[in-house]
Amino acid sequence: MKIQIIFIVAFITILIPKVYGQAGFEQYYYVQDKEAVEFVPVVSFQAKNNWYAEARYNYEEKNTFSLYAGRKFSGECKKLMYSLTPIMGAVTGELDGGSAGMNVSAELEGVFFSSQSQYTFSPKDPTCDFLFSWSELGYEISSWFYLGVSMQHTRMLHTNTQIFEHGAVIGFEFGKWTIPVYSYNTFDRGRYFVLGINLGIGSKPAQ
């Protein structure tokens, strides 16, 4: 837990004082029967000119750091707001290699969609190469509550093993705080839950 705190503080200290923009702090807790709780912190930063950086721990693999950089492209068409953020980065720890991905979001009159896809590879061990996609579709019931569905898809390229996980999500919003709760494989023995505690701070970048 201490190394996670150092990781987050270092990232904030280096980036935020230099360029004013938006920062996001996300902490996810994975809870499954008879399994230790897994902590997955994610820290993101978006400058006013829409350049984007993201740091993760325990995300691609346990005891593994990853750092990404990219640029956000956003727009609005009538009532539809959307954004695309291509990213590239490196991972190090129990898994060493590189990764490239795309973050997508869209919102229309209370209905929202978000997706994160990535290809992660390891030159040292090609059997670890994988494709990952996470998607969420939801509806804002009120200014402080939303619900929806979520899906995860992982494909290990060299073994052709594919994992599909589907579930539901409810979320609560209090000012700059968001608390989502996910349930995956709800009716199976492999069910597990994910609790998020997320905070967004800073000024709004240019569109």
Range from 8-17, 71-80, 116-125 carrying the lowest mean pLDDT? 8-17
User: What does the pLDDT read at residue 2?
Assistant: 46
Q: Indicate if the pLDDT at residue 18 is higher than 80.
A: no
User: What does the pLDDT read at residue 17?
Assistant: 44
Cα 13 to Cα 6, 18, 21, 26, 93, distances in angstroms: 10, 9, 14, 17, 22
Place of tokens 């720890």: 93
Place of tokens 């008879």: 34
User: Cβ(127)–Cβ(103) under 8 Å?
Assistant: no
User: Cβ(42)–Cβ(60) under 8 Å?
Assistant: no
CA atoms within 13 A on the CB side of 194: 24
Burial class of residue 44 in the structure, from the number of CB atoms within 10 Å of its CB (0-12 exposed, 13-18 middle, 19+ buried): buried
Higher pLDDT, 135 or 201: 135
Whole-structure pTM value: 0.84
Alpha carbon distance 41, 57 (integer Å): 6
Q: Which spans in the chain are helix H?
A: 2-15
Place of tokens 């270092």: 10
Q: Indicate if the pLDDT at residue 3 is higher than 50.
A: yes
Q: Indicate if the pLDDT at residue 137 is higher than 80.
A: yes
Domain spans, the chain? 2-17+25-202
Domain 2-17+25-202 sits in CATH 2.40.160.40: yes
Q: Could you tell me if residue 49 is left (phi over 0), alpha (psi between -120 and 50 degrees) or otherwise beta?
A: alpha
User: Cβ(186)–Cβ(169) under 8 Å?
Assistant: no
For the record, the structure tokens of 1 come out as 């837990």
